[in-house]
Amino acid sequence: LRQLIRERAFSFINLIGLTAGVFVCLFIAQFVWFEHSFERFNKNAGRTYRVNLYNTSNGIFEGISAGTVPGLAYAMKQTLPGVESIARVSTKEDVVVFNPQSQVQNLENSIVRADASAHDILGIELIGGKQFAQNSKDGLMISRSMAMRYFGSLDVVGKILEIGFPDAKIKILPMKVEGIFEDISP
């Protein structure tokens, strides 16, 4: 304490340096933890990449989205030699899901539309049903918790759920449940 008081300028510089060093170490540790917290459910996370679209209007940057232009997946598969598989994935917000048999209806915050290869790429474990057919337009894969919420059991393959997209021209779209996957933890 006596030396700290006697050498005030030197002590101040040392305390500032120590504080900055601890802050930087904590910041780097938090950054590394955050970067490694994504896609823990995916066993292929190290080999999975996301293509982003940088949106501009009249040369002015407007934002980044995961949506890409049609045909990009095919072009990437044909021209990039390291591409093993591609899945297009998009989300829809505030979607009405209705079971016509049990009259259960809910507003789902978000649902995901994906190509048939998405469950292989993302490592999603199927617990019932089969893998998506490549050209299945009316097929639906649901999670374990969604199966229990709408049907009350896991024996739901072949049953119908009606999906309503508020902004679409077709208000209600009947879709057949083709499979069930294990709930994905965030």
pLDDT digits (tens, 9 = 90+) for 83-92: 888 887 777 7
Within 10 A of 132 (CB to CB), how many other CB atoms are there? 20
Measured distance between the N- and C-terminal CA atoms of the chain, rounded to whole angstroms: 50
**pLDDT tens-digit map of 124-159:** 777 877 666 555 677 788 888 888 888 888 888 888
Residue positions counted in the chain: 186
Q: Each residue's pLDDT tens digit in the chain (186 positions)?
A: 788 788 888 888 899 999 999 999 999 999 999 887 776 677 777 778 788 888 888 888 888 887 777 788 888 888 988 888 888 777 777 888 888 787 887 777 778 877 777 777 777 777 877 666 555 677 788 888 888 888 888 888 888 888 887 666 657 778 888 888 888 766
As a dihedral over the C-alpha atoms of residue 56, residue 57, residue 62, residue 65, rounded to 10 degrees, the angle is: -50
Tell me the C-alpha distance between 148 and 142, whole Å. Answer: 10
- 76 near 87, Cβ under 8 Å? no
Tell me the C-alpha distance between 160 and 15, whole Å. Answer: 67
